[in-house]
Structure 1
């Protein structure tokens, strides 16, 4: 069953050009998140091109992959938000808990959608 998990906001600064002296691009975003329990026998298939791998991971495997920075920033935020909402990351086991939660739900001063045409 699909369950709404709220929304997160993120802010990424992409690397600059080829010389390293060009400024990076600012990329704000909002993602609506959902929880879906998946049976371990489920066959997973990417829904779009560009996905390098797709497989079920345990909590420990996701934590390790996060530490190795194997997820795109926006995807890492979704994983961290899941851990917060399900009590895996808490104020008791993470010293930066309040900062993490506030950064996952920050107000973005930049537009995150294109204006509607008239």
Structure 2
């Protein structure tokens, strides 16, 4: 199992596999966080203890962004209403990733809600 953990280690997530692709979104929160998101189903991820994270919800109130209560690093987001089986993990929390081997896809979450590299998508 692959570990993604915050700076202080209090909020750690278990992932089934190392990512081969990540999304870099330019929406107002993602560009400030600097996250590169990798996606899994909720069943595939071992979540940190609930008391180790704090939730931030805003805007349309569809996503809950989690951050470590101790060091403040954003760890993941989940659907608030459970309508999405997919959740996102901040891949920057995975030590030792070879970013040159990972496809980083730019996503325009600020305007068009489209991947900006769709012309070359397989």
Place the TM-score, normalised by the shorter chain, in its bin. Answer: under 0.3
Greater C-alpha Rg? 1
Length-normalised TM-score, structure 2: 0.27
Length-normalised TM-score, structure 1: 0.27
In terms of fraction of residues, the more strand-rich structure is 2
